[in-house]
Amino acid sequence: MGILQMSLSGAVLIAATVPVRSLAVYRLPKRTFVFLWGAVLLRLLLPFSLPPPLGVLAVGGKAAEVFPLISAAQTYTSPVRADTASPRSPPALAQASFAKAAWLGGTVVCALFFLAAHLRFRREYKAALPLENAYVAAWLRGQKLRRSVRVGYSDRINAPMTYGTLKPVILFPKTADRRDEACLRYILTHEMTHIRRFDTLLKCLLAAAVCVHWFNPLVWVMYVLANRDIELACDEAVVRAFGETAKPAYALALIGLEEKKSGFSPLCNNFAKNAIEERICAIMKTKKPSFMGILSATVLVVTLTAGALTAFAADGGDTTNGNSADKTPGVGDFMFPSDVKFADDMGIKVTVEETQNGALPRSEEFTEPGFDAGSAVFMPTRLVAVNRRDGGKFTEAEWNNILAGIAAGEIRMED
Amino acid sequence: MKLFDAELKVMEVLWEEGDTAAKRIAEILREKTGWSKTTTYTVIKRLCDKGAAERREPNWVCRPLVTAEEAREHETNELINRMWGGAADQLVASILGRRDLSKEEIERLKQIVSELE
């Protein structure tokens, strides 16, 4: 699947999740939304799609048509489909490579921005001092966790926070009152929930999605909402742990912390950063989830995850493949990204790569015949992804056949 | 000059030990705070940038350029300005009013006050 396709399917999922969230944010267990965002993340970040498992896709008839379940069992007859479609004109090619360069540039800029901010804050956090507090030490001993958690304090932060995935560290601001044991316990429980749920890692993935899909405004919306939902889910865990009577006290502690807000640090878990009002409301409205609530949450998550991984992917295969209906059914054919073209008058260095679900790709690189590398200022490179529709691996003979076909200009790209 | 807690930690080592190689500071602070070598070096660099300390070849020997007294004075001034609107006498009054001061401490404070009069 191409980036554009992943982005589009991701956008559809986000557009479906946002209204559910705004309608049910105070009603469903908060973790529901974290899981929903997780499903969206899978679609946004995994470039391949799983073959539809039995039954799941029976609802999406179109997808089932494109992906007949029997295809895997059929024999592989003709490895190469020689398309006679006319090659794209050079301006279209230039446009495609410009779009690609722009996307790559944006991704790099975004990634550098997140990385720079992260590294700057991390340097600050690393210089935090160990917090020696009998209550905190005793509390930590009572926690069952394989990873060892350190607790520190810093005069450079204004709100409690957690960083690190494998070696997590909880940091208190220097100004936090260490004698207020109730408040300490709320904060520790909240931060420990982040640690247990690997929220730092999740935030990294969210940032990665934003970097790759920077051109997609809905992905930014997801970034903001998912970060909020991560906090809401941890608040909810605190209320669960201490009972509903603790709600006002916890909400007040939160407001107290919010008075001294911290700066921007995208990859760490901040105790009090996002949309404080929503958090306070969510805390005060937290109730024991009803059976119906849990049921609808589960159905939501399962449906969306299954949809994210299969149905959209199948639709994607359909569009990339164009008019595949008229071909011999079940025969493995190749999916080419539509911005790739061969054998026009311009010489091209081609990298052919076999992509398979989960397996390491094998690739071959060669220059097209007639291309004089010596006279070229730079050599345009094309990456061609080929895969069998049935998810299997090409045999040696088929693979060589493909390479030979490309080298001879017999395989062309459809526009 | 405002020194943050982490920076003060390094300065404390320098005040106690005098000129110290960066490597030695890192060893001491690993014991005390669990910092990595990189973290200590980062803080040392920041101190040098601020002009609170300097590093010299060979061995990156660090030397404090600010004394403990100067650092304390700065902190005290800031405290007086922030909490007592610049009125140092009120700070002293507040300290004298504290219950957890021992008799000896109060005696010494009174002595200091009378010396200054």
pLDDT at A162: 92
Determine the residue of chain A that is closest to B3 in CA distance: A155
Q: Does B4 touch chain A (CB under 8 A)?
A: yes
pLDDT at B60: 86
Q: How confident is the model at residue A243 (pLDDT cuts 50, 70, 90)?
A: confident
Q: Is residue A99 a part of any domain in this protein? A: no
Residues A41 and A140 in one domain: no
Distance in angstroms (rounded) separating the CA atoms of residues A315 and A6: 11
For the stretch A145-157, pLDDT in tens is 999 999 999 988 8
CA atoms within 13 A on the CB side of A254: 31
For residue A277, pLDDT beyond 80: no
Residue A360 three-state SS: coil
Out of A85-94, A288-297, B37-46, B85-94, pick the least confident.
A85-94
Q: How confident is the model at residue A210 (pLDDT cuts 50, 70, 90)?
A: very high
For the stretch B7-49, pLDDT in tens is 999 999 999 998 999 999 999 999 999 899 999 999 999 999 9
The residue that leads in pLDDT, A55 or A184, is: A184
For residue A298, pLDDT beyond 60: yes
For the stretch A339-396, pLDDT in tens is 334 444 344 555 566 655 545 556 665 555 544 444 444 444 555 666 666 666 777 7
| A and B: number of Cβ contacts within 8 A | 27
Q: Under an 8 A CB cutoff, do A154 and B6 touch?
A: yes
Segment A290-302 shows an average pLDDT of: 81
Segment A204-217 shows an average pLDDT of: 94
Out of A118-122, A128-132, A294-298, B70-74, pick the least confident.
A294-298
Q: Does B58 touch chain A (CB under 8 A)?
A: no
pLDDT at A312: 52
Q: Mind telling me how many Å the CA of A147 is from chain B's nearest CA?
A: 17
For residue A128, pLDDT beyond 50: yes
Segment A103-111 shows an average pLDDT of: 94
Q: Which domain holds residue A129?
A: 106-283
Q: Is residue A398 a part of any domain in this protein? A: yes
Mean pLDDT of chain A: 73
Q: Is residue A365 a part of any domain in this protein? A: yes
Q: Mind telling me how many Å the CA of B116 is from chain A's nearest CA?
A: 33
Residues A146 and A272 in one domain: yes
Residues in chain B with CB shorter than 8 Å from the CB of A150 are 34
For residue A144, pLDDT beyond 80: yes
For residue A170, the surrounding DSSP H or E stretch is strand A169-173
Percentage of residues of chain B with pLDDT beyond 90: 38
Q: Enumerate the β-bridge partners of residue A385.
A: A353
CATH topology of domain B5-64: Arc Repressor Mutant, subunit A (1.10.10)
Residues in chain A with CB shorter than 8 Å from the CB of B9 are 129
The residue that leads in pLDDT, A391 or A234, is: A234
Q: Is residue A326 a part of any domain in this protein? A: no
Q: Is residue A329 a part of any domain in this protein? A: no
Q: How confident is the model at residue A79 (pLDDT cuts 50, 70, 90)?
A: very low
**Per-domain residue ranges for chain B?**
5-64, 68-116
Residues A112 and A189 in one domain: yes
pLDDT at A88: 52
Residue A336 phi/psi, 5-degree rounding, is: -110, 135
For residue A402, pLDDT beyond 50: yes
pLDDT at A52: 52
| ipTM score over 0.85, yes or no | no
Q: Mind telling me how many Å the CA of B28 is from chain A's nearest CA?
A: 14
Residues A264 and A297 in one domain: no
Percentage of residues of chain A with pLDDT beyond 90: 26
pLDDT at A157: 84
CB B32, CB B83: distance < 8 Å:
no
Out of A111-120, A256-265, B7-16, B75-84, pick the least confident.
A256-265
Largest separation between any pair of C-alpha atoms in chain A: 79
Residues in chain B with CB shorter than 8 Å from the CB of A130 are 33-34
- Which of A65-79, A291-305, A309-323 holds the top average pLDDT? A291-305
Mode of pairing for the β-strands spanning A381-386 and A349-354: parallel
pLDDT at B113: 78
For residue A273, pLDDT beyond 60: no
Residues A136 and A227 in one domain: yes
Distance of CA A400 to CAs A109, A354, A363, B80, Å?
A: 39, 12, 11, 81
For residue A10, pLDDT beyond 80: yes
Residues A223 and A157 in one domain: yes
Q: Is residue A340 a part of any domain in this protein? A: no
Q: Is residue A336 a part of any domain in this protein? A: no
Residues A18 and A61 in one domain: yes
Determine the residue of chain B that is closest to A150 in CA distance: B34
Distance in angstroms (rounded) separating the CA atoms of residues A74 and B8: 73
For residue A251, pLDDT beyond 60: yes
Residues A239 and A299 in one domain: no
Out of A14-28, A238-252, B95-109, pick the least confident.
B95-109
Out of A73-87, A296-310, B2-16, pick the least confident.
A73-87
Q: Is residue A248 a part of any domain in this protein? A: yes
Q: How confident is the model at residue A78 (pLDDT cuts 50, 70, 90)?
A: very low
pLDDT at A272: 41
Residues in chain B with CB shorter than 8 Å from the CB of A127 are 6, 35, 39, 42-43
Residues A174 and A251 in one domain: yes
Residues A111 and A196 in one domain: yes
Domains identified in chain A, total number: 3
Distance in angstroms (rounded) separating the CA atoms of residues A248 and A238: 12
Q: Mind telling me how many Å the CA of A128 is from chain B's nearest CA?
A: 7
Segment A115-122 shows an average pLDDT of: 91
For residue A171, pLDDT beyond 90: yes
Interface probe for A, chosen from B2, B4, B79, B83 (most Cβ of A below 10 Å), is B4
Residue A389 phi/psi, 5-degree rounding, is: -65, -25
Residues A144 and A258 in one domain: yes
DSSP letters, B20-50, are EEHHHHHHHHHHHH---HHHHHHHHHHHHHH
pLDDT at A355: 56
For the stretch A299-339, pLDDT in tens is 888 888 777 776 554 444 443 443 433 333 333 344 444 33
